[in-house]
Each structure stands twice: as structure tokens, then as C-alpha cells.
Amino acid sequence: MISMMALDLGDRRVLIREDLNAPITSGRVVSDKRLVAALPTLRAALEQGARVMVLSHLGRPKEGVFDASLSLAPVARRLAEFLEREVPLARDWLDGVSVEPGAIVLCENVRFEVGEKANDERLSRRMAALCDVFVMDAFGTAHRAQASTTGVARFAPVACAGPLLAAELDALGEALRDPRRPLAAIVGGAKVSTKLEVLKSLADQVDELILGGGIANTVIAASGRNVGRSLAEHGLVDFAADLLRGKFGGASIPLPTDVVCAERLAPDARGRLKALEDVGGDEMILDIGPETAARFAERLASAGTIVWNGPLGVFEHPEFAGGTRRIAEAVADSAAFSIAGGGDTLAAIEQFGVGDRISYISTGGGAFLEFLEGRRLPAVAALEARDDGIGRGG
């Protein structure tokens, strides 16, 4: 793929697709993570004197209908604070955007436009006509074949990868394509059904596969243990049994020996530490116990590479946060190359203050999972299809 950093962007119209889909409350951005991640790309283009236009989505509006609650206006204001310059918001940007060299405009929510999700060719061509260079920098949406991610890349005079997208792909490639061994993966979450392909793929690639949450409960049930009223997908017990037996690969899958239970999940719930064999029929497994956490941490300490997606328990509740906290600390303390992604994972990293000791934190959720599954991301494929050498300074 052509890299944005290899191009001369001076006085060129540069359309940059970022993922600025930030949570907004009372008209203010309440989490800056995705905006901060985009800043180096935006600053690099501005410093070259580019005429910068930024595309992003926000939420899931109905196409063709303006919804003030999903306007990017709060994002424009926050970007202006970060960049220390005006960031006007262009509402009718498809009709053309006026922007001076070294200046920036944020285009209104791209999902307001009819045809965005369907990757409509007419819409893609209108976007492409706005620019001399299209920069795909939104890894978080790279798994979606939409007009602003893949369609415009087909028709823009030059299409290239932004620094953030390139960094994500490099980090994931280091973790999975040529990893330092042993390779350990931590996969948590509520449902096996949402991560079937990830589990199959990782079972064949990794040396250690550590499971948490409802996924772990389903595997525990498949091993013949009682999980009581725990969140588990009993319809997928056969799949979980195949996973344990090594049908999909030879990864070691350690099971918990102790767990933290409660009869209900409520703000005033109190956890009870139990051996796995002693879980009662009216109990819910809501966290791994300290013995299990220590065993898992020991395995992570000897890893060469760690991939983390999903918590080990209901970490938002202080009674059930111990397992995820211990694993987060183990990942941070390890000498391994570590990469973490997914919304809950990032929330746990922030909660336990370990972000500065993890090698790479991915901005993607769905794209991160699809990469782990071994899928080719549509936006990346679109850029690779443009690898014809055009646009290098001309």
C-alpha cells in the first residue's frame, strides 16, 4: 500500500477518513481516545500544507435524515481544542468544500448520506471528486465495505494508507504473522457465538488460549462441570467440547480451578470464592478466582507475544474485577509484545491504569476481531488494489 507519509501533500486536496465515533453526552465528547489517535495523521497533513477534509461517522443515523443528536459538531469543537486552530463543520460537503492550504474542515456525519452503508458507486465517485488524495486512516471501520472506506478508494486520483491504519496493521502483523513464541491469546466476552471464527483461528495459531466470561463458562460446561445459572450458551457446548479436544488446533486451553460466584448480578452483590467443582445450581460464575488468575498470569509471564480481546469477568463491578485486574497487570508486566483491542478490553485497561505498559492498543473492535479471524479487511484490500505506484509526488 502507498503510505501517506511518502506523498507530497502540499497544496493538495486531501480527504482523510478517520474513526471519530466518540461517545457524546450533553453536547460534549466524553472519551477522547479516537480523536487523540487521529491527531498525528491530521497534524502531519496540515504541516505539509495540505487542504485537509476529514470524514467520519457517528452512531447509526437513518440515511438521508439529519439528526442533530448525531452531528459531529461536538467532535469539531474538541478537535479545534487539540489542534489549536479552527475546525469548521461542513454540513453540505458533497457539493464541494472550500479549504485553504494548511487548514482543516470536518465533514458532517458521513452516515447521513444515502448510499454510504451500501457502498454506492455514485456516492463514492462524488466523494472521490472532492480530493486529489484519499487517505484511509480509520482501522476501526476497515472491516466495512462502505462508500467512505472502500468505494472512494477505488475512484480517488490517489488512495493511500494513513499512519494510524499502517501502525495497526504492523502491530497485528507482528502479533500474528511472525510472532515471538510462545504466543498467548486472551479471549473474553459474553458469547461464544460472536467469536466462533476467532476461537477456531486462534486455536490453530496460538500456544496458549486463555478464555474468560460467558465464553469460558460455555467451555467449562463442555468439560462436564456445573456452571449453575452462569451466562453460557448451552447450544454451543458441542463446539466448545471440540475446541477443548483440539479439533481446531493444538492450543493449550487452561480451565479455572477457582471462581467468584453470586446468586445474582446487582450493585449490592457480594462475591463468594469457590472451587470450580463446588459451584451450586443457583449460582453465577462472575469472575475467575485468585488461584486461577495466578496460574494464568504465570503462563503470560513466559509468553513472547500476547493478544488480548475481552475481560475475564464482570470487571465493572468491584466484587468481580479481581481476575481481569490480575490479568491486565500480567499483560503489562510481561516482556512479551502485547496487543489489546475491543471496547471492553480498552475500558479495563483504562480502569486498571496499565495502558502505558502494553505494547500496542488497537483502536478497532470489529476490525480487530476480523483480523484475528484471518479475514482480509475490505478497506485494506481496496488500498492494495491501488498499488500501482501513482501519486508519489505527482
Reduced to 3 states, what is the DSSP secondary structure of residue 267? coil
* 203 burial type by CB count under 10 A (0-12 exposed, 13-18 middle, 19+ buried): buried
* 40 burial type by CB count under 10 A (0-12 exposed, 13-18 middle, 19+ buried): middle
Residue type, 348: A
Cα-based angle 306, 142, 134 (whole degrees, multiple of 5): 130
Q: Is 295 a catalytic residue?
A: no
Q: Is 125 a catalytic residue?
A: no
- Length of the chain (residues): 394
The answer to whether 297 touches 331, Cβ cutoff 8 Å, is no
Give the ranges where the chain is alpha helix by DSSP (H): 33-47, 73-83, 121-129, 152-155, 163-176, 196-205, 213-222, 237-245, 290-301, 322-333, 343-352, 366-372, 378-384
**Which candidate in 12, 34, 126, 325 is catalytic?**
34
Q: Is 34 a catalytic residue?
A: yes
CB count in 10 Å sphere of residue 26: 6
* Nearest to 36, CA basis, from 8, 72, 70, 75: 75
**Which candidate in 191, 229, 274, 375 is catalytic?**
191
**Which candidate in 64, 280, 343, 353 is catalytic?**
343
Q: Which residues are catalytic?
A: 34, 191, 343, 366
